[in-house]
Amino acid sequence: MATHKLLLLPGDGIGPEVMAEVVRLIDWIDAQGIAHFTTESGLVGGAAYDADQLPITDATMARAEAADAIIFGAVGGPKWDSVPYEHRPEAGLLRLRKDLGLFANLRPAVCYPALAESSSLKREVVEGLDIMIVRELTGGVYFGEPKTITDLGNGQKRGIDTQIYDTYEIERIARVAFDLARKRGNKVTSMEKHNVMKSGVLWKEVVTQVHGREYTDVKLEHQLADSGGMQLVKWPKQFDVIVTDNLFGDLLSDIAAMLTGSLGMLPSASLGEVNANTGKRKAMYEPVHGSAPDIAGQGKANPLAMIASFGMALRYSLELGDLADKVDQAMAAVLAKGLRTADVMSDGMTAVSTSQMGEAVLTELKALHA
C-alpha cells in the first residue's frame, strides 16, 4: 500500500485547533491500515514569523514541494498587524500558492440538509445546494505588477494594484471548470466584468473560445461578477460550476459559504498542473475560513471545513475517493444528529466544542467502517 506524504501547516488562530481534528482522523485511518500516511508539520503565517521572522521559510517550502498533499489551517491575526507588508502572515499562503503553481482553487459550497436552517436565507433557497466555485488562484490583481504605494510629494499618495491575465491562464482555469462540470451538472457560469475591465473582455473571449473548441457538450453562461453575486444570493441553485478570477473568486466564495450556513463549513482544494511524467499534481487543501483570532483557543471553532478539506485531499490527491465519501457521510451524520458548533447553532440542537465535533465525526467514520 502506498504511503502518502502529508505536510501539515496549521498556522495561526484557530488553525491548530481545527488541524488537531484532522490529525485525529489521520491517526485512526493509519492505525486501522485503511491507508498509510507519513505526516510532517511546519510553521506558516504569524507562527512562522514569530520563529523565523518570515511567513514561511525556504526549508518549509522545500517540504511543501516534496509532499503529496499540503493540509493548511489558517493564517493571520492582529498580533502581526505591524509586521512589514512582505512578511505579513498572508504572504506565506500566497507564496505557497504561487511558487507551487496552484492555479486552480476549487471551493465547493454544499448545503447539508441538516444545516438549511442555519443559513440566513430561506430553506427553499439553499436546501440541496451543491455548487462548485473554481477560482483562479495564481494571477490577477493578487500578483500583478506594479503593486505599489508611491508618495506623490504633494501630501498625496497613490496605491496601485494591477490586474493581469494572459490567455494561457484563462484557458487552463476554464478547462478545469469544464472538466468538473462534465462530472457534475454539465453547466459552467463564467463571471467577470467585461463591461468595465479589459481583463474581463479577454476572460470572456477566451472562455468562449475554449468552450467552442473543446467543450460544446457543456452548457456555458456568462454573468457579470456583480450581478452574479446578486444571483448567488437570490437563487443559487441555478449554478453548477462558477469559474472566475482570483479577486472575484475570493468575494464570491465568501458569499457562497454563507449559503451553506457558515464560513466554518467550506473546504477548498488548490491544485497545480498535472505532471505529464508522474500523473501527479501539487496540491494544498485549506478551509475557506480564516484564523478567527477572536475565538482562537476557546474550543469554539467549527472543524468541519478543515475536515472536509482533508476529505478533498483524499479525493483529489490520494486516490482515496471511497474514504472521502465516508468522511462526507460521517460529517452529514453528525449534523443530522443535531451536533453543532457555535457558528451553526440553532434552537433545539446540541452545542459541542471543536474537539467534541471532531470526535463525533471519527465515531461516525468508525461506524461506517465497522
Question: Could you give the string, one character per residue 77-96, with x where binding to ligand IPM holds by CB under 6 A and - elsewhere?
Answer: -------------x--x---
Point out the residue whose Cβ comes nearest to Mg ion.
250
The entry of ligand IPM, Mg ion, none near residue 93 (CB within 5 to 8 angstroms by kind) is: ligand IPM
Based on the shown chain and the rule CB under 6 A, indicate whether residue 48 belongs to the binding site for ligand IPM. Answer: no
**CB neighbourhood size of 158 (10 A):** 9
Q: Which of residues 293-322 bind ligand IPM (CB under 6 A)?
A: none
CA terminus-to-terminus distance, the chain: 21
The entry of ligand IPM, Mg ion, none near residue 90 (CB within 5 to 8 angstroms by kind) is: ligand IPM
Q: Catalytic annotation on 151?
A: no
In the complex with ligand IPM, the residue whose CB is nearer, 292 or 334, is 292
Q: Catalytic annotation on 237?
A: no
In the complex with Mg ion, the residue whose CB is nearer, 295 or 339, is 295
Among residues 263, 352, 363, which one has the least CA distance to residue 308? 263
With contacts defined by CB under 6 A, how many residues of the chain interact with ligand IPM? 5
Contact 167, 174 (CB under 8 A): no
Q: Catalytic annotation on 240?
A: no
The entry of ligand IPM, Mg ion, none near residue 9 (CB within 5 to 8 angstroms by kind) is: none
Contact 293, 78 (CB under 8 A): yes
Contact 323, 34 (CB under 8 A): yes
Q: Which residues are CB-contacts of 75 (< 8 A; sequence separation ≥ 6)?
A: 11, 12, 13, 15, 44, 45, 46, 55, 89, 90, 92, 93, 290, 291
What is the full DSSP assignment across 247-290?
A: HHHHHHHHHHHHHTT-GGG---EEE-PPPTTT----EEE--SS-
**CB neighbourhood size of 370 (10 A):** 5
Q: How far is the CB of 171 from ligand IPM (least distance, A)?
A: 22
Buried b (16+ CB within 10 A) or exposed e, 6-34: bbbbbbbbbbbbbbbbbbbbbeebbeeee
| Angstrom distance (rounded) from CA 147 to CA 322 | 44
Q: Catalytic annotation on 165?
A: no
Q: How far is the CB of 258 from Mg ion (least distance, A)?
A: 12
User: Of these residues, 250, 285, 316, 326, which one is catalytic?
Assistant: 250
Q: Catalytic annotation on 58?
A: no
With contacts defined by CB under 5 A, how many residues of the chain interact with Mg ion? 1
Q: How far is the CB of 309 from ligand IPM (least distance, A)?
A: 11
User: Of these residues, 12, 49, 68, 142, which one is catalytic?
Assistant: 142
User: Of these residues, 193, 282, 300, 326, which one is catalytic?
Assistant: 193
Q: How far is the CB of 360 from ligand IPM (least distance, A)?
A: 27
Instruction: Kindly state the cell numbers that stand for 52.
Output: 523565523
In the complex with Mg ion, the residue whose CB is nearer, 250 or 364, is 250
The entry of Mg ion, ligand IPM, none near residue 68 (CB within 5 to 8 angstroms by kind) is: none
Determine which residue in the list 250, 286, 328, 343 makes contact with Mg ion, applying CB under 5 A: 250
Q: Which run of H or E residues covers position 158?
A: strand 157-162
Beta bridge partners of 283: 271
Q: Which of residues 218-277 bind ligand IPM (CB under 6 A)?
A: 250
Residue 357: helix, strand or coil by DSSP? helix
| Residues in contact with ligand IPM by the rule CB under 6 A | 90, 93, 250, 288, 290
| Residues in contact with Mg ion by the rule CB under 5 A | 250
